[in-house]
Amino acid sequence: MDSVNLEVLRRVAGWIDAGVAVTLVTVVKTWGSSPRPEGALFAVSGDGQLAGSVSGGCIEDDLMDRLRLVHPSQPEVVTYGVTAEQTRRLGLPCGGTLQLVLEPLHQGSCMRGILDRIERGELVARRLHLADGLCELVGRVPDLPIVFDGRTLVSAFGPRWRMLIIGGGQLSRYLAEFALALDFQVTVSEPREDYRASWVVPGTLLSADMPDDCVLAMRPDQRTVVVACTHDPKLDDMALIDALKFDAFYIGAIGSHANSLKRRERLTLFDLDAREIDRLRCPVGLPLGSRTPPEIALAIVADIVARRNRVELVAPGARVAPSEAVCPSLP
């Protein structure tokens, strides 16, 4: 789940604990162009506080006006953008339409249970019955953020993506901060004690294990990213050798073009075939002319996001088109 939804869950859990009335709004279906995806959350407290977003602000204003009159006592479905007049009045982009579920929250809404699971790095699903407002946490987590059939709403929460960063230097810090905001559970492998002592990114798991051991323990899959950031072949290469044997979504390593060629030559000395080595993104990231650590981290996450969204990047000014060939199909 993205950082915006996580912040909404934390806010509403605090409001519930404080005895404040809360209405949670979930985007359950979109048509055309929509500002936020299915599963996006927005919450309004009884004392007028807000959290999250379901649009660029136009729908939120209308929802706030609606909820100032009365907070719903049972879940209800609301659709915006049905008519041309409503689309013009609310400023929905490109004629887009949003279907929302408005849900009054209470102590039995499982918010704390969801947050506890997320803090343990787990995926969790919550089923809401619209007829009576009852909900429960369920064992099977859907592949989609939400599944809605008009009677029940099943929402998935938690880290759907993982990132293993090799090395705990300055670049890794910026990369981890970007990744946390982009729905990644971040693990940093840093066996060097001095680097571990200076690591200060909350929300990440810092491991003193050797990088190749971290890879084997993590068993990268199609929702896993591995990025080697130490410039030390003894650390980076050993992790990459193991990572390239797994079906990881994205595997990259920093370095100049010259050093990247040398790295590829070194990898041929191990039990890796040409197809496996070709999966390595090195130099890692998009060619943005990056020089500073935050710029390099931005180039890396931009490449990852483009591939995760199945977007093929082309020359500036040209159209960017989706491409199924950019990354493997995800479950």
Q: Using the predicted structure, report yes or no on whether residue 217 has a pLDDT greater than 90.
A: yes
Residue 98 and residue 85 share a domain: yes
What value does the mean pLDDT take over residues 185-206? 95
Of the residues 157, 176, 200, the one at which a domain ends: 157
| Any domain includes 313 | no
What is the pLDDT, as a whole number, of residue 68? 77
As given in the structure block, the two tokens for residue 300 are: 């890396």
Q: Using the predicted structure, report yes or no on whether residue 215 has a pLDDT greater than 90.
A: yes
What value does the mean pLDDT take over residues 263-291? 93
Between residues 331 and 129, the one the model is more confident about:
129
Q: Using the predicted structure, report yes or no on whether residue 72 has a pLDDT greater than 90.
A: no
Residue 197 and residue 141 share a domain: no
CA dihedral 79, 331, 186, 206 (to 10 degrees): 140
Of the residues 100, 125, 157, the one at which a domain ends: 157
Total number of domains in the chain: 2
Low-confidence winner among 85-94, 125-134, 279-288, 320-329 (lowest mean pLDDT)? 320-329
Residue 151 and residue 85 share a domain: yes
What is the pLDDT, as a whole number, of residue 314? 55
The pLDDT tens digits for 146-162 are 999 999 999 998 877 89
Residue 212 and residue 177 share a domain: yes
Domain of 45 in residue numbering reads as: 3-157
Of the residues 108, 128, 157, the one at which a domain ends: 157
| Any domain includes 20 | yes
What is the pLDDT, as a whole number, of residue 325? 33
Residue 140 and residue 14 share a domain: yes
HEC assignment per residue over the chain: CCHHHHHHHHHHHHHHHCCCCEEEEEEEEEECCCCCCCCCEEEEECCCCEEECCCCCHHHHHHHHHHHHCCCCCCEEEEECCCHHHHHHHCCHHHCEEEEEEEEECHHHCHHHHHHHHHCCCCEEEEEECCCCCEEEECCCCCCCEEECCCEEEEEECCCEEEEEECCCHHHHHHHHHHHHCCEEEEEECCCHHHHHCCCCCCCEEECCCHHHHHHHHCCCCCEEEEECCCCHHHHHHHHHHHCCCCCCEEEECCCHHHHHHHHHHHCCCCCCHHHHHCEECCCCCCCCCCCHHHHHHHHHHHHHHHHCCEECCCCCCCCEECCCCCCCCC
Residue 275 and residue 146 share a domain: no
Question: Which domain CATH number covers 177?
Answer: 3.40.50.720
